[in-house]
Every structure is written in structure tokens, then in C-alpha cells.
Amino acid sequence: MPQYNAKVYVTLKPSILDPQGRTVERALSHLNHENVGSVRIGKYIELNLSGEKAEVEAQLKDIVENVLSNPIMEDARWELTEA
């Protein structure tokens, strides 16, 4: 059965405030990195899946949209490569 590696990236939508990103931005400024701005914090997730590619893609889409992200507040994208 084919094996796949998935990399999932989840970030807050641009319209959602990111207090964690703002905290990091302030900390960087206090460390004399004044040229850094608009810091956004997200999640990176790796998964290994097995099965036929079409089925794995459908399963990954379901996992990302219903488990790993909140579509109301977050954007998600993924990369799927054969292992």
C-alpha cells in the first residue's frame, strides 16, 4: 500500500487578532529587532498516511478541516508527498 507524508500548516485568518504573535513582536522589539513586524503564530503538523492517493487526499482534507483547524478562525493548507 502506498505511503504518504503530509505537512499541514494552520494559521489564523488575517482578520483574526493574534495576541501570541503580538507578544512575540513586542519581545523582538525589546531585543532591538525593531525592523520585525506583523508576527503571526501558527501550527505545523506532520502526518504519515497509507492508502490510494485519492482516498488519502480526501481523508487528509477531512482531518485538516474537522480536527486540526477551525475553519471559522483559521486557514489551513497541506503538502502531500509520497514516502
pTM: 0.87
Q: Which of 8, 2, 5, 4 is nearest to 67 (CA)?
A: 8
- pLDDT tens digits for range 31-71: 999 999 999 999 999 999 999 999 999 999 999 999 999 99
Contact yes or no for 51/2 (Cβ under 8 A): yes
Residue-number span of the structural domain to which 60 is assigned: 3-82
CATH number at residue 75: 3.30.1280.10
Structural domain count of the chain: 1
Burial of 56 (0-12, 13-18, 19+ CB in 10 A): buried
